[in-house]
Amino acid sequence: MLFPLLSLLRLLCITSLATGQQDPRVKIAITTETPINAVSTTPEGRLFLPYARIDGSKGPTVVEWVNQTAVPFPDLEWNSYSASKDPATHLVRINSQRIGPDGQLWLVDVGSPAFGAPVILPIGPKLVVVNLTTNAVSRTYPLGTVVLSSSLLDDVRFNPAANLAYLTDAGVPALIVLDLHTGEARRFLENDISTAATFPISAEGCLLHDSNGNFQYIYADQLEVSPDAKWRYYQPASGQLYRIDTCYLNAAFHNSSLASILSQYREPFALTPSTGGTAIDAAGNIYVGDTDRQNIEIIASNGTRSVLLHDERLLWVDAMWVDSQQRLWMPAAQLNRGTPFNNGTSLVVKPLYVFTVDIGAGPSPVDHA
């Protein structure tokens, strides 16, 4: 009787997106029938989206949005993964994507064909780089050496001066650091209190459950890097934002003794709520999507919290994006209503939307071009 009871509780948690409170500053940028969990834009106006597919739909995992039409990117073949195809040369499942400070599109491939399914080791998990001039894959960073079968590669940020990329593992809690020159990667703070979740993820006032009816924990998930690249911020999806000085994290890459005591250098930064996604602007303000209250919070560079806006349509705003026109893009993905958290049934209300709001600040220079 557990699953019927959980399904009833989830239905009771669902509110109306159409009749709830709406902020007039929030504008609809994209209307879609498929959940979108991230946005990337170029200064020239190109727009890239990953499809979360938590509604049971099938099709490409990454698209370019052209004239209100989704075009598989970088091409249809890369987006055509099946069990009979090479996971090293196809996108198995993209959890996040973003344009980096180098102007290329970076795709985080978890290497698992479905949420909760084992990672295809060693060649499934990878970071794929697409040159936006040629629209072709320019490099692939295999990550099988730092990923476990139950890992969930979540997102990526950059430290251009150090030539490093930072990732999170939301399945087996850890931070990952990747040397962009050599392709070597290492795990840090594995199962540390700062990367592990002490409470299940919550949305619309309800704790989420996995396919077995157990509480759903999502470990080291969101991350940002301060505009001066001094701090790496990170947290589990259930909240509690930590930070660590990147000088220690970077040095630990080549110093195992330092790596073993790295927990001495991380510190609590802000008591954030259950979170779908984050973004950071040029002033170092971190934007946090509150999955319970449909708020967007701002965490200032000194750690103080304030509410930027509240809008009932902002249901599970995932990876946000600050563009060159000083707008914050907010993909309302409704992930908590998807099949992984509802015993295989999609409760997603369609259409879905990506929203924007003017924030009066541009992107961080180390975040993206």
Interval 35-80: pLDDT, tens = 999 999 999 999 999 999 999 999 999 999 999 999 999 999 999 9
Place of tokens 């091409």: 75
346 within 8 A of 54, measured Cβ to Cβ: yes
Amino acid 92 reads V
Mean per-residue pLDDT, 176-192? 98
Interval 304-338: pLDDT, tens = 999 999 999 999 999 999 999 999 999 999 999 99
Give the whole-angstrom CA distance, residue 235 versus residue 233: 7
At 55 the pLDDT is 93
Interval 245-298: pLDDT, tens = 999 999 999 999 999 999 999 999 999 999 999 999 999 999 999 999 999 999
At 369 the pLDDT is 72
Q: What sign results for the dihedral spanned by CA atoms 330, 334, 338, 341?
A: positive
The answer on pLDDT for 20 being more than 90 is: no
Global confidence as pTM: 0.95
Interval 106-127: pLDDT, tens = 999 999 999 999 999 999 999 9
Give the whole-angstrom CA distance, residue 105 versus residue 128: 8
The answer on pLDDT for 154 being more than 80 is: yes
Interval 201-254: pLDDT, tens = 999 999 999 989 999 999 999 999 999 999 999 999 999 999 999 999 999 999
Contacts of 335 (CB under 8 A, 6+ apart): 35, 37, 52, 54, 203, 276, 316, 318, 341
At 3 the pLDDT is 47
Mean per-residue pLDDT, 4-31? 72
Contacts of 269 (CB under 8 A, 6+ apart): 233, 241, 242, 243, 299, 303
The secondary element (H helix, E strand) that includes residue 47 is strand 47-50
pLDDT band at 11 (very low <50, low <70, confident <90, very high): low
Give the whole-angstrom CA distance, residue 174 versus residue 151: 9
32 within 8 A of 351, measured Cβ to Cβ: yes
If phi > 0 it is left, if psi is from -120 to 50 it is alpha, else beta; for residue 211 that is alpha
